[in-house]
Amino acid sequence: MAVSMRLTRVGGKKDPQWRVVVADRRSPRDGRFIEVLGRYNPQTEPSTIVLKEDRIRHWLERGAQPSEPVQKLLKTQGI
């Protein structure tokens, strides 16, 4: 099973907020996921980024591939 770390949209219309999740690569963007690893709100100033560093490292060690937006968030947080 190919596993990826990616963003899932939550929040209301014209109020996007995102969760960082681990999901099977084949599942849809807002579909089934394995675990929630954090959240990202780009509408606050500055943007709110809350991540579970220990769980992210756990999944990276097991071969989960982060998407490009998640890679940028991880780099911003220094993970």
Q: What is the pLDDT of residues 3-42, one digit of tens each?
A: 999 999 998 899 999 999 999 999 988 889 999 999 999 9
**DSSP SS3 for 5:** strand
**Which residue segment(s) compose the domain that 70 sits in?**
3-77
Q: How far is CA 8 from CA 23, 34, in A?
A: 10, 12
Q: What does the CA dihedral 39, 37, 57, 34 come to, rounded to 10 degrees?
A: -150
Is it the case that residue 1 has pLDDT exceeding 80? no
Report which DSSP code applies to 62.
T
The pLDDT confidence band at residue 59, using thresholds 50, 70 and 90, is very high
Our count of domains for the chain comes to: 1
Q: Would the pTM of this model clear 0.75, i.e. be above it?
A: yes
Report the side by side order of strands in the sheet with 48-51: 48-51, 35-41, 17-24, 3-10, 65-66
CATH number at residue 60: 3.30.1320.10
